[in-house]
Amino acid sequence: MADTAKLALFVRLEAKPGKEAEVEKFLRGGLELVQQEPGTTLWFGLRLSATTFGIFDTFADESGRQAHLSGEVAKALMAKAPELFAQPPTIEKVEVLAAKLPGSVEKAA
């Protein structure tokens, strides 16, 4: 099961003043789009502070991660960026070193 979460993305989003509710709505709506991506194994829309949001998602392999980066959520994110965010989204490619997933107590290799 941990093989489904070897790679990840962490995206930091800083809302423009007064746009916090719209960013939250955007992230909630992104869930529907990402559910159509078979290569995205886990996806979280996050609130880190009053104005800082994030996305954390995992993938079994690089092809799944690349498909997500060119998918509908990424396109919508970049289209909305000038309107919603104080600065361009920071997208970091990360490697999952260990994970506890539903039905699993394994560590990622």
Q: Where are the domains of the chain?
A: 2-95
Q: CB–CB of 60/40 below 8 Å?
A: no
Separation CA 18–CA 106 (nearest Å): 42
Beta bridge partners of 9: 57, 93
Separation CA 64–CA 54 (nearest Å): 19
- pLDDT score, position 25: 96
Place of tokens 């361009």: 88
Q: pLDDT by residue (tens digit) across 64-90?
A: 999 999 998 899 999 999 999 999 999
CATH of 2-95, one of 2.60.40.1120, 3.30.565.10, 3.30.70.100, 3.40.50.720: 3.30.70.100
Q: Write out the chain's pLDDT in tens, 109 residues.
A: 568 899 999 999 999 999 999 999 999 999 999 999 999 999 999 999 999 999 999 999 999 999 999 998 899 999 999 999 999 999 999 999 998 888 765 554 4
